[in-house]
Structure 1
Amino acid sequence: MTSDTGESRPEAPKDSRSTSRKAAASGWIGSALEYYDWFVYAQAAALVFPSIFFPEGDPTVALVASLGTYAVGYVARPIGAIALGHWGDRRGRKNVLVLAMLLMGLSTFAVALLPTYGQVGMWAPVLLVLLRFVQGFAVAGELSGASAMIVENAPFGRRGYYASFSLHGTQAGQIIAAAMFLPLSAFLSDEAFDSWGWRVPFLLSALVVLAGYVIRRRVDESRIFLEEKEERRRERPPFVQVLRESGMDVVRAACMTLVNVIGVVVSVFGAAYATQPGYGIEMDKSVYLWIPVVANLVALAFIPWFANLSDRFGRRPLMIVGSLGSGVLSYAYLWSISQQNVALTIVLAILTWGLLYQVWNATFAGFFQELFPARTRVTGFAIAQNLGLAITAFLPSIFTLVAPPGSANVPLIVGTLCFAITVVGAVAAWSARETHRIPLEQLGTKDAKPVPRAEFDRRRAESR
């Protein structure tokens, strides 16, 4: 077995290609299951929770409060990033993935058992917020741990492609989450759906806990972690190390993470804008159960292809194109909602979220992992990503406040804010160093030197 530098290393006990595929498969399955839980809540927060867990009256207050509970999960994520990042960098990628899965599944199952505002008053939103906080804490370690394990086991020159499997899994989780609501909303009356139908997808998290635990316990720990395990125990906590050694890369990655505003605009604020009575558009809720399914099916088809392009041409070009392209298209998407044009809304949602945003989404996991050295990789990725997501999570509520129900020019106001945020992400990507040809053992170090293009292409072709 050879390292990315071409130096001889002891042969792993199992075939390296088999190990790479096993890590990628477990990352896909685990991410799909955990993000199913995460996005089930997002769907319910936009479509159901305003009328169930909050007092009736002002629709703007109820909507802002509901989307605020969605945001609480993201507030918890930086805390989870520090705690679970430390766990992943000190105790192993495998261990943190099992812990994150258990916390996520149990907290999501508990949401299904919550009483409504009409039953217990203010205790309903309080308990909802607490469980969303646990969800946010848990999910903070998922993508950083899964993609670290995949990157550290990936074949030469194909880190981007293999890392995209964890993102592929998150998109599949969104599809499953949305698809769970579709038959319920189609076959149940509005009263039955609001009374008990919405609880069914949350109850199924019990199966997620069991499946996730079995899958994650069978994954092999990454080679590079095992080689440096003893040395890491003598070092400072990863949180301290990553801020001292890679502070600017944390800032860059956090700014790049703000491009997740596209998903927020399409699936969270867009759903509220299109379906909540206060805006006067009142598209059928089923439209916003179908949009995530169709857009993410398109994403599933293109993520591996875009990720493969990032291995050939570099991470930064795709990060920039994906950011700016989807940001520009958000204007048209919101305008189509304002025109009550359901067909055009679906098409533009697919183009904005399912295609252009995926140019960025397919690339960022591999790129973020490559910005940090192995000893702080999970922590650096987790802190940067979850700081950016914590900011992004408040955007639905901010959009609702600056463009509340009844206001004019919602597409222009929200579209401009969205595009400005994607510009920030594009600039951050442009300012970062290109990483796709840097050897694995040199990633995140001052001595990192890219493999010459001809040599890189030759060895990449051999590893396929």
Structure 2
Amino acid sequence: MPSDPTAMGATSPRAMPNTSAPKPLSKVSAVSAITIGGALELYDSGVYNFFALLIVPLYFPVGNPLGQLLLSFGTFGAGYLMRPLGGLVIGAYADRVGRKPAVVLSMWLMAFSALILVVTPPYAQLGVLAPVLMILARLIQGFAIGGEMGSASAMLLEYADQRSRGFYTSWQASSQGVAAVFAALVALVLSHALPPSALESWGWRVAFLIGILVIPIGQIIRRRLEETLVLEPKKATKKDGGRKLLKAHWRELLASVLLMIGLAASVHIIAFYLANYATFQLRISRGDAIWAGFVASLVLAVFAPLSGWLCDRIGRRKVVWWSRVALLVMIYPAFSLLNRFPSLTCLLVVVGLLAVPMAMTSPATMVLVSEVLPQRLRATGMSVTYYVAIAVFGGFAQLFSTMLIQVTGNPNAPALYVIGCGVVSLIGLAMVPETLGRRLS
């Protein structure tokens, strides 16, 4: 029997409805699908952070312990250099073709980068090609994540109504927390279940193998999402998008980058760096220190929706202001306390307290940035501004902080890094208006 309705003499599409098309999801299910899909994509980056101190010596054999530490954080940061490019390329694709194709492309790229990490032998077996492939995997990973954030955030914002945009957008930040929680759990299980020799030789690869599941699971979760991009008549060409973005919205872009600098520094120091800091500075075992990443990520996953809900009621700028100021006041005493009482209990308490303002500032910042840009440029603008700041001030936060400790001799120097970035971000906050209740263009 032919499957085409016109082959059966039908003259109208209504004569035979397309029963093969998946039924669109409800808003709640759609937000869940975007959040879970985003978490799956971001999982690999979290895993790499937790195992970086173990992986890097296998691929970058350096006899100096400090050199290995700096290489570890430098390789972690290398992936971030590609995020602005991924945001620009995949973000522009999302603004031109649609949000759904963009997030599907990001998922395939993330799975490919995970595959490279799983199958690449160490330096002792493969020679110089091993570190080259490791860096290539990190670059592809960064490119894919760069496209995911803007596309997913734009889709969440466009699913929402005027009274719930903050809450809906907050689930993108929550997905980052979910991803890191999942990555921390996998790292904890492997670290405690396997002897050190097995973890070093093959155990860490299992964590990345799990990341390859992003393709079938992500496709199943997201295939029923409705496209949220409303395509305009083709008045503008593909070439003028970037020029229009820069010319008409340069002030918003600059303010967004400044805002994101503070966000990038706080997230990467609290959620990522403190677990590694506990290992090399406080002499807490790697397996125990991973709990710091777990706690910070769990707080982000739980408190991000609360931040989104709150900024829908009192305003985005107020939530950003108070959370940033709280973090600036707390961060240096927190590091001082850690170095005075270097224990796992103190570490987890400090991380838990710092993670609250970190989690509160993240969604409010992202919705504030997303609302100042028009729809046709939203995914591109969000991705580029977010990842320009993330590429330098987030991806290399661990490297900069470790170098600051060496240069100053002050073990609390990472707090000074967060304070400096936080002050810069308040300048960006002063440059943008309150967007609560503003009609999206």
**Same-fold status (TM-score > 0.5):** yes
Closer, same or farther in 2 for the Cα pair 1:267/1:440, shift >3 Å? closer
Query: Where in structure 2 are the equivalents of 1:234-313 lying within 5 Å?
Result: 234=237, 236-259=239-262, 260-276=264-280, 279=281, 281-313=282-314
Match of 1:206 among 200, 207, 212: 212
For residues 131 and 232 of structure 1, the distance between their equivalents in structure 2, rounded to whole angstroms, comes to 39
State the shift of 1:65 in Å.
1.0
Matched, 1:367 2:371: no
Match of 1:146 among 152, 168, 174: 152
Query: Where in structure 2 are the equivalents of 1:90-101 lying within 5 Å?
Result: 90-101=96-107
For residues 122 and 266 of structure 1, the distance between their equivalents in structure 2, rounded to whole angstroms, comes to 34
Tell me the residue number matched to 2:334.
Answer: 333
State the shift of 1:274 in Å.
1.9
| 1:72–1:132 contact (8 Å) kept in structure 2 | yes
State the shift of 1:232 in Å.
6.0
Query: Where in structure 2 are the equivalents of 1:11-410 lying within 5 Å?
Result: 19-45=26-52, 47-222=53-228, 225-226=229-230, 228-231=231-234, 234=237, 236-259=239-262, 260-276=264-280, 279=281, 281-339=282-340, 340-353=342-355, 355-392=356-393, 393-404=395-406, 408-410=409-411
Q: Which amino acid aligns with 1:87?
A: Y
For residues 371 and 19 of structure 1, the distance between their equivalents in structure 2, rounded to whole angstroms, comes to 27
For residues 404 and 109 of structure 1, the distance between their equivalents in structure 2, rounded to whole angstroms, comes to 36
| 2:85–2:143 contact (8 Å) kept in structure 1 | yes
| 2:308–2:363 contact (8 Å) kept in structure 1 | yes
Tell me the residue number matched to 1:428.
Answer: 428
State the shift of 1:211 in Å.
0.9
* 1:90-114 deviation per Cα after TM superposition (whole angstroms, max 9, x unaligned): 0101110110111012212221112
Q: Which amino acid aligns with 1:246?
A: H
* 1:339-364 deviation per Cα after TM superposition (whole angstroms, max 9, x unaligned): 313211111111112x1111111212
Can you give the 5+ residue segments of structure 2 that lack an aligned partner in the other structure?
1-23
Closer, same or farther in 2 for the Cα pair 1:201/1:60, shift >3 Å? same
| 2:61–2:123 contact (8 Å) kept in structure 1 | yes
Structure 1 residue matching 2:434: 3-state secondary structure = coil
* 1:10-43 deviation per Cα after TM superposition (whole angstroms, max 9, x unaligned): xxxxxxx964334312221111111112211222
State the shift of 1:234 in Å.
3.9
For residues 116 and 168 of structure 2, the distance between their equivalents in structure 1, rounded to whole angstroms, comes to 34
Tell me the residue number matched to 1:455.
Answer: none
State the shift of 1:121 in Å.
3.1
| 1:324–1:419 contact (8 Å) kept in structure 2 | no
State the shift of 1:236 in Å.
4.1
The number of equivalent residue pairs is 415
State the shift of 1:304 in Å.
1.5
Structure 2 residue matching 1:101: 3-state secondary structure = helix
Structure 1 length normalisation: TM-score? 0.85
Closer, same or farther in 2 for the Cα pair 1:394/1:296, shift >3 Å? closer
| 1:89–1:238 contact (8 Å) kept in structure 2 | no
For residues 224 and 44 of structure 2, the distance between their equivalents in structure 1, rounded to whole angstroms, comes to 21
| 1:238–1:379 contact (8 Å) kept in structure 2 | no
| 1:107–1:135 contact (8 Å) kept in structure 2 | yes
For residues 269 and 207 of structure 1, the distance between their equivalents in structure 2, rounded to whole angstroms, comes to 27
Can you give the 5+ residue segments of structure 1 that lack an aligned partner in the other structure?
1-16, 442-464
| 2:261–2:425 contact (8 Å) kept in structure 1 | yes
* 1:313-350 deviation per Cα after TM superposition (whole angstroms, max 9, x unaligned): 11111112222222332223322332313211111111
Closer, same or farther in 2 for the Cα pair 1:153/1:118, shift >3 Å? same
State the shift of 1:202 in Å.
0.2
For residues 132 and 234 of structure 2, the distance between their equivalents in structure 1, rounded to whole angstroms, comes to 44
Structure 1 residue matching 2:368: 3-state secondary structure = helix
For residues 74 and 235 of structure 1, the distance between their equivalents in structure 2, rounded to whole angstroms, comes to 26
Structure 2 residue matching 1:112: 3-state secondary structure = helix
| 1:270–1:334 contact (8 Å) kept in structure 2 | no
For residues 151 and 81 of structure 1, the distance between their equivalents in structure 2, rounded to whole angstroms, comes to 17
* 1:364-388 deviation per Cα after TM superposition (whole angstroms, max 9, x unaligned): 2221210100110111101100100
Q: Which amino acid aligns with 1:338?
A: N
Q: Which amino acid aligns with 2:45?
A: W
For residues 91 and 232 of structure 2, the distance between their equivalents in structure 1, rounded to whole angstroms, comes to 15
Q: CA RMSD in A?
A: 1.9
State the shift of 1:59 in Å.
0.9
For residues 198 and 221 of structure 2, the distance between their equivalents in structure 1, rounded to whole angstroms, comes to 35
Closer, same or farther in 2 for the Cα pair 1:36/1:120, shift >3 Å? same
State the shift of 1:272 in Å.
2.9
Q: Which amino acid aligns with 1:131?
A: A
| 2:275–2:291 contact (8 Å) kept in structure 1 | no
